[in-house]
Structure 1
Amino acid sequence: MRQDKGYTLATGESGAYRLQILNAIHQPYTEFLLQRAGLSQGMHVADIGCGTGNVSFLMASKVGLSGSVYGVDMSEAQLDIARSQAKSLNGGNITFVSGSAYDTALPKESFDLVYCRFLLMHLNHPSDALLEMRSLLKPGGLLVCEEADFSTAFCEPSFAAHDRCYEMLIALSKERGHNFCMGTMLYQIFLEVGFGTPEMSFVQPVVIHGENKRIVDLSLMEARNALIEAGLTTTSEFDQTSAQLKELALDKTTMFGIARVTQIWARR
């Protein structure tokens, strides 16, 4: 089975708050994408790299009790949070299971729709993961993916700390064999794994005030140890950059353009 160098950011309780903010920013666009792609009542769906289950719960509400959702993740810490939430929500149509994006252990050709968000950018072999997802689809089933391109993030007015943050994160992804600019490549990869007619759109959320602006400094903080160990920054530079990002998050005159997201969907 394929092996990766590991997820760059935090998992479990230490990463849950960042994921909550991330979902608050992206869920409206994800919901519109799923509606546009054709998610509907009664569908059987798989959410690969489901994390704490934010999108899994959204899809479960759309497919109803006549449908089902399977959330798959390698992190037991993430799955523990997702299962706890499922209990509190009485999510009878949703199941969370441990598995790799390369080998989900889900039954082949059994799903009407397979979905992933911000997963492929963390993998060393994204094409292999897409092939696994493709194999889970019924003939005519839908594969729906969302991936970011960190090179498109911006701050207005511009600040060196913001640019340096994304420069470090992109460099770390390259050092690990990942690709935090995956969104730009997604259309070509879909073609390479056998989807002849994918549909695609771009979205780029903007945050100006509130806790959602913390997504930048929280993401950087979770990568702190990995960045320093890789020699991509020093403790002094990191602490200075992180402090400046927190100040920017509180500045209501500053606008953050969150990394542009490629949304793509295609039928098997």
Structure 2
Amino acid sequence: MVHAVDASAEQLAIARRALSDLPQVRFTQARIEDAPLKAQSVDWVYSRFLLMHVSNPAAAIAAMARMVAADGALLLEVSDIGALRFVPCDDPAADLWRQWWFKLGRARGVAYDIFDRAAGLLTAAGFGIERSDRFQPVSTLSDAKTLPALGFEQCVPGYLEHARANATDIERHRAFLRRAISDPGVAVELFPTTQYLARSLPR
């Protein structure tokens, strides 16, 4: 049995449509922090980029630890969005977005700064980390450089409303992105992702 857990009814509806031919999948709408599955009821938990979207990452990992059976495992992926950068680059406008990103996270009450805390939270929840692998794609392709530009545009309303970004600075960063995307000599170091394989320690 596979359990798909998400707080978003919309996301679960997408998953149901995509997995409609798999009767072994059960869908549960709930916050992971609320530990919606029975204690020690699953052998594996897979969590990808979830922790940055919850208000209490420690509670979320503790709930995962509760769900996992003895000697069960958690595969956790977290990304350091704030580490994204363009190189080479000496334009001050390139990094304007970063301060807005973290301010937006604080305003929304979520954990955009989770990357550096993940390992400690796993240990505190009773997991032993068996391995961790870090990946960071680097590319000069315009398609790759367009990815952060699209993300930026999605966040602009939040930056203006919650991060108190200046409209002039928004335009400065937007202009920088246009230049970087069209310049084959500029590469984007996309945000690094760490994948942890953690196993539940004897209780």
What is the TM-score normalised by the length of structure 2? 0.85
Q: 2:68 aligns with which of 131, 134, 137?
A: 137
Does the CA-based 8 Å contact 1:72-1:104 persist in structure 2? no
- Cross-structure match for 2:39: 108
Does the CA-based 8 Å contact 2:103-2:163 persist in structure 1? no
Q: Which amino acid letter does the alignment assign opposite residue 228 of structure 1?
A: L
Q: Distance in 1 between matches of 2:14 and 2:183?
A: 32
Describe the shift of the 1:95–1:212 C-alpha distance in structure 2 as closer, same or farther (beyond 3 A).
farther
Q: What displacement does 1:247 show? A: 4.2
Does the CA-based 8 Å contact 2:104-2:162 persist in structure 1? yes
Deviations 1:29-68 (A, max 9, x none): xxxxxxxxxxxxxxxxxxxxxxxxxxxxxxxxxxxxxxx4
Q: 1:212 aligns with which of 114, 122, 144?
A: 144
- Cross-structure match for 1:78: 11
Q: Distance in 1 between matches of 2:48 and 2:197?
A: 12
Q: What displacement does 1:204 show? A: 1.1
Q: Distance in 1 between matches of 2:166 and 2:32?
A: 33
Q: Tell me, what secondary structure is at the counterpart of 1:221? A: helix
Q: What displacement does 1:222 show? A: 1.9
What is the TM-score normalised by the length of structure 1? 0.66
Q: 1:128 aligns with which of 55, 59, 62?
A: 59
- Cross-structure match for 1:241: 173
Q: 1:165 aligns with which of 71, 79, 97?
A: 97
1:1-268 matched pairs, under 5 angstroms: 68-87=1-20, 90-158=21-89, 159-268=91-200
Q: Which amino acid letter does the alignment assign opposite residue 169 of structure 1?
A: W
Q: Identity rate of aligned residues, in percent?
A: 26
Does the CA-based 8 Å contact 1:102-1:128 persist in structure 2? yes
Deviations 1:164-221 (A, max 9, x none): 1223212322343433232221111111112244432221122321533322122222
Q: Paired residues, what number?
A: 199
Q: Tell me, what secondary structure is at the counterpart of 2:33? A: coil
Higher mean Cα deviation, 258-267 or 230-239? 230-239
Runs of 4+ in 1 over 6 A off after TM superposition: none
Determine which structure has the larger strand proportion and give its number. Answer: 2
Does the CA-based 8 Å contact 2:137-2:189 persist in structure 1? yes
Q: Tell me, what secondary structure is at the counterpart of 2:126? A: coil
Does the CA-based 8 Å contact 2:42-2:68 persist in structure 1? yes
Q: Tell me, what secondary structure is at the counterpart of 1:252? A: coil
Describe the shift of the 1:247–1:97 C-alpha distance in structure 2 as closer, same or farther (beyond 3 A).
farther
Q: What displacement does 1:104 show? A: 4.5
Q: Tell me, what secondary structure is at the counterpart of 1:259? A: coil
